[in-house]
Amino acid sequence: MKKINVAVAGLGRIGKIHLKNLCRNFSDVQVVAVMDLLDESKTIADQFNIPVFVKDFDQLLAVPELDAVVICSPTDTHADYVVKAANAGKQIFCEKPLDLSLDRVKQVLETVKGAGVKLMLGFNRRFDPEFKKIRQLVLDDAVGDVQIVKITSRDPGPPPVSYVKVSGGMFLDMTIHDFDMARYISGKAVKEVYAKGAVMVDPEIGKVGDVDTAIITLTFEDGSMAVIDNCRKAVYGYDQRLEVFGSKGMAQAENNFPNNHKLYTKDGISGDLPLNFFLERYDASYNQEMAEFIDALVSGGEVPVDGNDGLLSIAIGLAAKKSMVENRPVTLTEIL
Amino acid sequence: MKKINVAVAGLGRIGKIHLKNLCRNFSDVQVVAVMDLLDESKTIADQFNIPVFVKDFDQLLAVPELDAVVICSPTDTHADYVVKAANAGKQIFCEKPLDLSLDRVKQVLETVKGAGVKLMLGFNRRFDPEFKKIRQLVLDDAVGDVQIVKITSRDPGPPPVSYVKVSGGMFLDMTIHDFDMARYISGKAVKEVYAKGAVMVDPEIGKVGDVDTAIITLTFEDGSMAVIDNCRKAVYGYDQRLEVFGSKGMAQAENNFPNNHKLYTKDGISGDLPLNFFLERYDASYNQEMAEFIDALVSGGEVPVDGNDGLLSIAIGLAAKKSMVENRPVTLTEIL
Amino acid sequence: MKKINVAVAGLGRIGKIHLKNLCRNFSDVQVVAVMDLLDESKTIADQFNIPVFVKDFDQLLAVPELDAVVICSPTDTHADYVVKAANAGKQIFCEKPLDLSLDRVKQVLETVKGAGVKLMLGFNRRFDPEFKKIRQLVLDDAVGDVQIVKITSRDPGPPPVSYVKVSGGMFLDMTIHDFDMARYISGKAVKEVYAKGAVMVDPEIGKVGDVDTAIITLTFEDGSMAVIDNCRKAVYGYDQRLEVFGSKGMAQAENNFPNNHKLYTKDGISGDLPLNFFLERYDASYNQEMAEFIDALVSGGEVPVDGNDGLLSIAIGLAAKKSMVENRPVTLTEIL
Amino acid sequence: MKKINVAVAGLGRIGKIHLKNLCRNFSDVQVVAVMDLLDESKTIADQFNIPVFVKDFDQLLAVPELDAVVICSPTDTHADYVVKAANAGKQIFCEKPLDLSLDRVKQVLETVKGAGVKLMLGFNRRFDPEFKKIRQLVLDDAVGDVQIVKITSRDPGPPPVSYVKVSGGMFLDMTIHDFDMARYISGKAVKEVYAKGAVMVDPEIGKVGDVDTAIITLTFEDGSMAVIDNCRKAVYGYDQRLEVFGSKGMAQAENNFPNNHKLYTKDGISGDLPLNFFLERYDASYNQEMAEFIDALVSGGEVPVDGNDGLLSIAIGLAAKKSMVENRPVTLTEIL
């Protein structure tokens, strides 16, 4: 069997995860090259016996017989790299978001479309076994018509303020996952967004124009609703829960835990906190999303999360920002 | 010890609960009279050995040496009865809401204030052991500064449309409990309301101008938030949950169940549905609220839920209605 | 409707529970007299408006038109009182155990049989909603053929050593409930007992010849088994759990809790300890067993726990003692 | 860094697991050869790029510069292979049990001792994160003095009767893991065993002289106890639970589940069954035990499960068989 030749661009936290999964878990994949700006990253390439290490994306694309690129570089390079890869006729997996500018995203998607290559966006949470199970229950009609989607998404701690400044704000950096999740779980199109935010974790976040705590209500085209609550800091760890309520029932996904022990003492019953770090919590999802990307390449089928999914999540995020600033519900038609 | 002489007006579902609790569980209370419009209700009076049964509220107030009245009659009688009882110098426990008109409620509270009697409102859920525990954890600073309050409140089934028509709508009939709960749990004042509703259970409810499914975001004076999700029909029963998220942690109250068994079979693990009916689910709360009313009478202290609590819940409900109709956040100052 | 006239003998902890339930919760019962050795207990009688208070059991039986007696006096009076009540033709409810001597129990049961009165034993745990549900699942064949019954039964703290000395030992005082539960849940007859005990809580308990920690294996007639683990002291409270494993599945009853809150903080997830005291934990069961006793009197039907159940529990307890002392399995035929 | 050269003997289910883990997860390990009787197994060797594939254990040992062997071949080869490997001076990891004959085990251990090589036994459950956590809580004195250990261990289905016949019986094949777990969790020495068994799953198992359902009580040297309940068939899947009760509290490990969703419908609340297959349930443990074996080789330290652990588990299993047959408690001194 001919192997698919893949290159990985960017060897930060996510890049390393994808590299490891691509090297270890897929017998039909050959990682032929990696790219990173830092010299030190060469040791990672060596550790996985990757024959080519480069520091420039054009050089990466020039590697002979390359089939696909996995883009894990900083957000502000995503659009450029995707365009280059598309023009080079490579299949593309790109971490979210494509870009913080909706116009730029639209341009990129045009290019990708014109090039006839596949583009998959890294909304990894769709591939988490817990959330996938809930989606399956919805598809199986176990909850009936979806009436309310509830997403709790709280981080263990805020990123540095320097990052917050360039992140596009909480809605585009953090809630964007939840916007995608609301669309994925319900299978519905978002019509309107109302976002209410507050600075309750760190005043410095407020000083750079962002919020750290928020409640966002999404209204779908059919009038059903989703509600998301976010906070940049939950002292008890990474809080990732989901609930779908419908005409036939309700399905819930709880947090994941390092282990399930319970300790009973004279002081009470206690147990472990949820898995604290997103790489641990969503470990299985990263492998699964890559597996489904590879499957699409092998089969020639559709990727499970495409450019339009990326576009819509950004649009909802921009609508949420506008809603919060203007303190009124904002329709997606105002944004798109 | 001199007993407190109490009369009960209205022997519907709630009236019977209060009557039973007053007769059985308080050694310092004597129920001296009951009132109901129906002749048949006399058998209830007899069953509890109540010496006086009348069909008219004025006759009830005329019973000698009466200290207090417990008003459980239909909503549209509440304001009149409270005014009469206040003018007669009786202590008053009244089921919620006082009235659907804010002006009328204000008048009633003026009268009560002038008469110098106590008025306690029947927001029984404050006395539920689960929710009381959560409130205590907030008071004990176990969750730190409250940032988000989340309330799930779904009924097992909708009331008859004939009732919906006169109920004041879901926000004043059903969500009013949740508005009070948000204030109680957080100990904060509501500043603004945004409500989004839909008709997803029964189109007939829509035809009479109400909704049956809703997400309501409350903003407190300090910028922190509460979010409530409601539905008139949860096929799996009465869903009453609460979560408080703050700077030091999160506290959750789960549903209550008839029993806690688990059955493991080849088809999966299953267990009982939540307690289905509000009288069962909130059984303990009805007794506890009456105990605290009686305590206030005996001690001369403050009642734990007063007329202003009643007023504010109605105001929030009216703001929610306005918000939904106009699809914009509404401040309480627009209403009060 | 003619009421059933009941007298209560013994106003200790259990006696007061039965008195309260009989007075409050049964419209077809009239408590006509109570007996207790202590003068102070008269105030209890007064509180419940009981017309007759006596200090002697014969006087109690002499109360005119008495239908039934509820015997809650100390264990060493049970046999005498039951015999007297039977000879007087009264229906009898008696707390367990009937006596610590198997011969005496057999005599008593002969007398009761000869008198043609009903005798119900107070194995209240059979009437606990949790355990009743498990029994129902067995009856409904939800677990199939019962293969293993597992009972965890641990007390929050040991009784005084002075009590341990006269209690008949842990197996007859504490495990006797679990022996009855094993029979009740399985619906099977016990054939053989193997008990292993240790003194791990308090050496003083060992000095008076008893153990405080034990594992007991029961073998039923058909070869299926039950296992009970006991301890006189669980620092985390009253631990009362049950599991039935069979050919079609497994059913579990968990502990009961004061409330179900969970608190998430940086230190972990915590919740309340189980209900700590048997009167709270088994509150509902005391009322339910009395309701079924009253039902049997009204209907003339069988009592749900009869003298033979009392006899067998004592026999199993004696077999367990013998097994532990001789460190070998003991068959019931050696005892009965 | 010099890599440790490892060979794997036997590529059945467990062999493949160890091979995969050794190849993928340890940067300081080189798998230099594998052995299996079947020609087809060569494809597995190829898949992992193992340079040498042989069908004979002596050939495996002859591979140049070999440091260690991992023995996953059938039970009846364990003793021979361990002796050969020890005589060849190789470090040894061997699946349990070493042999079904205690004398043979003793001989093997003598040889290993004489050869001065390490021998680690594959009691993988010690390395399960859930059980390791419970052991850690015991070591941390969170449960105080251990008084009772409770182990529930039920398989999803019985092995073929042909296998049962040669397996040494349930106690040596299945319960042996639980015997080791009781020793591991308590850190105590077993003094006496009482086992009660029954044939309740499949009469054919009885015909070949074995049981399929059992309760085993272990008494430790200090009088504290463990109780194990086993069944060859739990229709709801693989049931692996653990509880430790002590003077300061109780710690519990629950089953592991494919996911934690809950579905609420009008028919009840349901969720997934436990992970059904031991390879899934104990996946993490296999990697962890290999990591600790490798660590011992690298550091020159002690292996965490040694030959004596293997010997004692077999001795307890033989005592359990004797106890069941003679229906009496059997001390280990009768066996060893």
pLDDT tens, position by position, A89-131? 999 999 999 999 999 999 999 999 999 999 999 999 999 999 9
- The alpha-carbon gap from C283 to the nearest alpha carbon of chain B, in Å, equals 14
Q: Which residues in chain B touch residue A217, judged by CB atoms under 8 angstroms apart?
A: 194, 196, 215, 217
- The alpha-carbon gap from B235 to the nearest alpha carbon of chain D, in Å, equals 5
C268 closest CB neighbour out of A234, A266, A272: A272
Average pLDDT over residues B265-284: 93
What pLDDT is attached to residue A306? Answer: 97
Best of B133, B259, B267, B282 to disrupt the C interface (most C CBs within 10 Å) is B259
CATH of domain A128-284+312-334: 3.30.360.10
Phi-psi sector, B66: left (phi>0), alpha (psi -120 to 50), beta: beta
Q: Do B253 and C263 touch (CB under 8 A)?
A: no
The residue written with tokens 């004489």 in the block is D114
- The alpha-carbon gap from A154 to the nearest alpha carbon of chain C, in Å, equals 13
C262 closest CB neighbour out of B129, B252, B258: B252
Q: Which residues in chain C touch residue B256, judged by CB atoms under 8 angstroms apart?
A: 260
Nearest CA among A5, A34, A37 for reference residue A19: A34
pLDDT band, very low/low/confident/very high, at D67 (cuts 50, 70, 90): very high
Q: Which residues in chain C touch residue B251, judged by CB atoms under 8 angstroms apart?
A: 261-264
Q: Which residues in chain C touch residue D218, judged by CB atoms under 8 angstroms apart?
A: none
- The alpha-carbon gap from D260 to the nearest alpha carbon of chain A, in Å, equals 6
Q: Phi, psi (5° rounding) for residue D129?
A: -60, -35
B236 closest CB neighbour out of D235, D264, D271: D264
> What topology is assigned to B126-284+312-334 in CATH?
Dihydrodipicolinate Reductase; domain 2 (3.30.360)
- The structural domains of chain A, with segments of one domain joined by +, span 4-117, 128-284+312-334
Inter-chain CB pairs, B–C, below 8 Å: 74
Rounded Cα gap, residues A212 and A198, in angstroms: 6
> CA-nearest residue of chain D to B264?
D236
Inter-chain CB pairs, C–D, below 8 Å: 96
What pLDDT is attached to residue B176? Answer: 97
CA-based radius of gyration for chain B: 20
A148 closest CB neighbour out of B229, B248, B329: B229
What pLDDT is attached to residue B173? Answer: 93
Q: Do C271 and A272 touch (CB under 8 A)?
A: no
Average pLDDT, rounded, for chain D: 96
CATH, domain D126-278+312-334, list 3.30.1490.20, 3.30.420.40, 3.30.360.10, 3.40.50.720: 3.30.360.10
What pLDDT is attached to residue D204? Answer: 97
Do residues D319 and D330 touch, judged by C-beta distance below 8 A? yes
Q: Do A198 and B329 touch (CB under 8 A)?
A: no
pLDDT at D56 over 80: yes
Rounded Cα gap, residues D200 and D203, in angstroms: 7
Q: Do C236 and D249 touch (CB under 8 A)?
A: yes
What pLDDT is attached to residue A27? Answer: 82
Average pLDDT over residues B103-112: 98
What pLDDT is attached to residue D1? Answer: 56
D236 closest CB neighbour out of C198, C224, C250: C250
C215 closest CB neighbour out of D217, D236, D249: D217
- The alpha-carbon gap from C266 to the nearest alpha carbon of chain A, in Å, equals 4
CA distances from A306 to A128, A174, A177 (A): 17, 19, 14
A259 closest CB neighbour out of D129, D258, D262: D129
Supply C53's token pair.
């208070």
Q: Which residues in chain D touch residue B233, judged by CB atoms under 8 angstroms apart?
A: none
What pLDDT is attached to residue D217? Answer: 98
Q: Do B251 and C258 touch (CB under 8 A)?
A: no
Average pLDDT over residues D243-265: 96
Q: Do D268 and B268 touch (CB under 8 A)?
A: no
Q: Which residues in chain A touch residue B188, judged by CB atoms under 8 angstroms apart?
A: none
Average pLDDT over residues B303-322: 98
C263 closest CB neighbour out of B142, B260, B261: B142
pLDDT tens, position by position, A177-194? 999 999 999 999 999 999
* Element housing C199 (H / E): none
* Element housing B8 (H / E): strand B4-9
Best of B147, B218, B224, B273 to disrupt the A interface (most A CBs within 10 Å) is B147
Average pLDDT over residues B195-209: 97
Q: By a Cβ cutoff of 8 Å, what residues of chain D touch chain B?
A: 234-236, 264-266, 268-273
Rounded Cα gap, residues D254 and A262, in angstroms: 8
Rounded Cα gap, residues A25 and A45, in angstroms: 17
Cis status of the peptide bond prior to A129, with omega within 30 of 0: no
Q: Which chains touch D (3 or more CB pairs under 8 A)?
A: A, B, C
Q: Do B236 and D272 touch (CB under 8 A)?
A: no
Other C-beta atoms within 10 Å of B139: how many? 10
B130 closest CB neighbour out of C24, C259, C264: C259
Rounded Cα gap, residues A88 and C281, in angstroms: 72
Best of A186, A191, A250, A334 to disrupt the B interface (most B CBs within 10 Å) is A250
A260 closest CB neighbour out of D253, D262, D265: D253
Best of C24, C46, C264, C272 to disrupt the B interface (most B CBs within 10 Å) is C264
Q: Largest Cα–Cα distance of chain B, in whole Å?
A: 67
What pLDDT is attached to residue A277? Answer: 85
> CA-nearest residue of chain B to A201?
B247
Do residues D323 and D329 touch, judged by C-beta distance below 8 A? yes
Q: CB-side exposure of D335: number of CA atoms within 13 Å?
A: 24
> CA-nearest residue of chain D to B237?
D266
Q: What percent of chain B has pLDDT over 70?
A: 100
Residues of chain C with pLDDT under 50: none
DSSP states of C126-182 as a string? Answer: GG-HHHHHHHHHHHTTSS-SEEEEEEEEE-SSPPPHHHHHHTT-HHHHTHHHHHHHH
Q: Do B249 and C259 touch (CB under 8 A)?
A: no
Do residues A65 and A32 touch, judged by C-beta distance below 8 A? yes
List helix spans (H) across chain C.
13-25, 42-47, 57-61, 75-87, 102-115, 129-139, 161-166, 170-173, 175-186, 203-207, 278-281, 283-299, 307-326
CATH of domain C126-282+312-334: 3.30.360.10
Nearest CA among C53, C65, C67, C64 for reference residue C9: C53
Average pLDDT, rounded, for chain A: 96
Buried b (16+ CB within 10 A) or exposed e, D76-89: ebbbebbbbbbebe
What pLDDT is attached to residue B1? Answer: 57
pLDDT at A1 over 60: no
Q: By a Cβ cutoff of 8 Å, what residues of chain D touch chain A?
A: 24, 27, 47, 129-130, 133-134, 137, 142-143, 248-254, 256, 258-266
Q: Which residues in chain B touch residue A196, judged by CB atoms under 8 angstroms apart?
A: 194, 217, 219, 225, 329
Q: Phi, psi (5° rounding) for residue B207?
A: -65, -30
CA distances from D40 to A171, D11, D62 (A): 55, 10, 22
- The alpha-carbon gap from A164 to the nearest alpha carbon of chain D, in Å, equals 33
Average pLDDT over residues A197-217: 97
Q: Which chains touch A (3 or more CB pairs under 8 A)?
A: B, C, D
pLDDT tens, position by position, D105-164? 999 999 999 999 999 999 999 999 999 999 999 999 999 999 999 999 999 999 999 999
What pLDDT is attached to residue D20? Answer: 94
Other C-beta atoms within 10 Å of B113: how many? 12
Inter-chain CB pairs, A–D, below 8 Å: 75
> What topology is assigned to B4-117 in CATH?
Rossmann fold (3.40.50)
Q: What percent of chain D has pLDDT over 90?
A: 95
List helix spans (H) across D152-262.
161-166, 170-173, 175-186, 203-207
